[in-house]
Structure 1
Amino acid sequence: MATPGTDVRGRESVTDLDLHERMLLIRRAEERLIVACTDGSLPGGVHLYIGEEAVAVGACAVLTDDDVVTSTHRGHGHFLAKGGDLDAMFAEIWGRATGICKGMGGSMHVADVSKGILGANGIVGAGFAIATGAAWGAKLAGQGRVATCFFGDGAANQGSFMESMNVSAAWGLPAVFVCENNGVSEFTVTATVTGGPLVERARAFMPATVVDGNDVHAVRDAVGAAVERARAGHGPSYVEATTYRIRGHLEAEQHMLGGGTYRTDDEVAAWQAPDKDPIARLAGRLLADGTCSRDDLDALDAAVRARVEAAVAFAEASPPADPDLAPTIMFGPA
């Protein structure tokens, strides 16, 4: 897999096979987290990105390591798409000292500033202001960097969404707002708590578009155009990617719902069909255009699965996080 970090001016170097492999890595990693969560080997819950892989991979394919992203509580996909290390991410989720945040952050707080990953965040909508501040810093630096903010449709009802778009537009900041519209806000159907199309809110401030978020090419092209605009000094853009999360808000959510539900099994199954699933769709293109054979794809899948198991072994063999870091890791010694 080519390391993500090619901007819009050189995105042709990121091949479709590269995009497929990166989406597959996210999917297989998170499927393995389901197993670990079910057998009780994880120290906490996880919020999975399964079904939405094309958004993170398509967007990050046009970013460099110098560009920054802010993520969400559902941040594993963004972390891996931006080039984050799988071993370090798994060690973090397992609460190990070798984790990307020394095991002190856990699943919802993976970050790697060296890759431009400013961090996942357990606070819904917290990335808006962080990305806007990063975009202001990028504009002051004048080196063509871009800040991309990933967020969900539920987060768009936070007041900081409007405030951040307003500041970004007023100051002409190099920011790209990527809304992962999966139709649900935690355990609530978004349409029941949201007035009007989200894209219309953004259009009051900046160029805005809606794309098929399960088509990695559509996401890459839309975000690529927004990144190119930002690098040229023409200000922020909004890209809304229509997608769907296959898993629940978090694993084991059934124990929180008390027998209730907010979507049907038929609805979930429809989004898992080959014409909807982002990985199956790109695999179909790879086979149809002769880029690779089914045997090639199966071999790649086996290699990715082996890579995931190696990361699990690394995490499980690593020492636990050092509790003595708790009073010093944020603020330093007194």
Structure 2
Amino acid sequence: MSRVSDERVAGAIEDVGLYAQLYRRMLLIRGFEDRVQSLFLRGEVYGTTHLYSGQEAIAVGIASLLGPDDRVACTYRGHGHLLAMGTDPEALLAELLGRETGVNGGLAGSMNVVDPEHGVLGCYGIVGGSIAAATGAGLSLRGTGAVAVAYFGDGTTNQAYFFECLNFAKVFELPVVFVCENNGYGEYTPFEAVTPGGIVPRAAALQLPTTELDGMDVLAVRAAGAQILERVRAGGGPEFVEARTYRFVGHSRSDPGKYRPEGELDRWRERDPLVVTESFLRDELGMGADELKEVTESVETELDRIEAAALAAPFPAAVSIPEFNDGRT
């Protein structure tokens, strides 16, 4: 087992332009989710929502290493993964608003978006569904050099999908990276209360190479991810990642998060992925305050345009469902 915390792997730092792009993408995801929450409270978003705020470094760090032939499968908390993979944010917001210009014509809502153009097999409302989808994709990717990535939460590690799919992937040495985004809670329950022995030992028991990393640091995610993906692409078989992270919002739209111990959220906010990356850009790569401000303002301008366009988009035309008479009606 290897462990990568908030340490930067030697030689992993490339250039200010790359990390500025990663920072901008995380800003876009955070701002997008803020808009989604505001629109939901105004009654514009149909169905439920599960926001990715606080976990941005994982999706952005991994996606920065993936190519057009790779595939990812996400959870119902999938907005961040979609945006990290390049899904058009205007089309994604329109989807959440039920508009016909949405990624899936306004019919998928928040939890079930599919974007094959950008390698996204889908977002799955069923806990563990992403693991099964990525494992299936791994079968078709054997020998191609491409990989499938499954994102899932800590609660999934108590589901049958977890054990069945990791076992299957290992038996057939599939090119799959299983990424557990451990945000500390399975809905409202601390993962330690229902996960005896922790998470990594479960994957290790099935002989998958495992990595623990700081999921609040996009540099750490990218550095570890580069090594993992290189091994998997080369035919090394599946690998498992536990990325420790934290969601800054409740589980879903109706959860105020009152079950969290006092001070816990504040402590995790000190490790906000945006703060961590901004500090690195400023202190290590010499990016000035004006440059950082310009990035932030450009994202807000883009989000203003996206929100206005999505709200102005038409709703889908009524769909007529044919009636079938098989003699029983």
For 2:20, the aligned partner's letter is L
1:303 aligns with 2:298: yes
Contact 1:210 1:239 in 2 (8 A): yes
Counterpart-to-counterpart distance in 2, 1:308 and 1:45: 21
Q: What secondary structure is seen at the aligned counterpart in 2 of 1:324?
A: coil
Look up the match of 1:52: 55
* Change over 3 Å in CA distance of 1:134–1:20 after alignment to 2: same
1:289 aligns with 2:284: yes
Q: How far is 1:265 from its partner?
A: 4.5
Look up the match of 2:234: 232
* Change over 3 Å in CA distance of 1:326–1:45 after alignment to 2: farther
Superposition pairs for residues 4-43 of structure 1, below 5 Å? 12=14, 15-43=18-46
Counterpart-to-counterpart distance in 2, 1:167 and 1:226: 19
Look up the match of 1:219: 221
1:271 aligns with 2:235: no
Unaligned runs of 5+ in 2: 1-11, 323-329
Look up the match of 2:81: 78
Counterpart-to-counterpart distance in 2, 1:18 and 1:37: 28
For 1:22, the aligned partner's letter is R
Counterpart-to-counterpart distance in 2, 1:136 and 1:323: 39
Look up the match of 2:251: 249
Q: How far is 1:322 from its partner?
A: 3.2
For 1:79, the aligned partner's letter is L
Contact 2:61 2:218 in 1 (8 A): yes
* Change over 3 Å in CA distance of 1:198–1:133 after alignment to 2: same
What do the CA deviations read for 1:205-233 (whole angstroms, capped 9, x no partner)? 21001111101111112222221111101
What do the CA deviations read for 1:109-151 (whole angstroms, capped 9, x no partner)? 1221011011111111111111000000111xx3211000000
Superposition pairs for residues 118-157 of structure 1, below 5 Å? 118-139=121-142, 142-157=143-158
* Percent of pairs with identical residues: 43
Contact 2:179 2:243 in 1 (8 A): yes
Look up the match of 1:170: 171
For 1:104, the aligned partner's letter is L
Look up the match of 1:158: 159
Q: What secondary structure is seen at the aligned counterpart in 2 of 1:209?
A: strand
Q: How far is 1:11 from its partner?
A: 9.7
Contact 2:131 2:161 in 1 (8 A): yes
Counterpart-to-counterpart distance in 1, 2:123 and 2:182: 17
Q: How far is 1:38 from its partner?
A: 1.8
1:190 aligns with 2:191: yes
Q: What secondary structure is seen at the aligned counterpart in 2 of 1:180?
A: strand
Q: What secondary structure is seen at the aligned counterpart in 2 of 1:109?
A: coil
Q: What secondary structure is seen at the aligned counterpart in 1 of 2:319?
A: helix
Contact 1:215 1:278 in 2 (8 A): yes
Counterpart-to-counterpart distance in 2, 1:250 and 1:119: 19
Q: What secondary structure is seen at the aligned counterpart in 2 of 1:321?
A: coil
Q: What secondary structure is seen at the aligned counterpart in 2 of 1:150?
A: strand
1:317 aligns with 2:317: no
Look up the match of 1:108: 111
Q: What secondary structure is seen at the aligned counterpart in 2 of 1:128?
A: helix
TM-score relative to the length of structure 1: 0.89
Q: What secondary structure is seen at the aligned counterpart in 2 of 1:33?
A: helix
Counterpart-to-counterpart distance in 1, 2:310 and 2:177: 34
Counterpart-to-counterpart distance in 2, 1:277 and 1:43: 29
Q: What secondary structure is seen at the aligned counterpart in 2 of 1:151?
A: strand
* Change over 3 Å in CA distance of 1:285–1:325 after alignment to 2: farther
Count of residues paired in the alignment: 309
Unaligned runs of 5+ in 1: 1-9, 328-334
Runs in 1 of length 4+ with deviation above 3 angstroms? 10-14
Counterpart-to-counterpart distance in 2, 1:325 and 1:222: 50
Look up the match of 2:259: 262
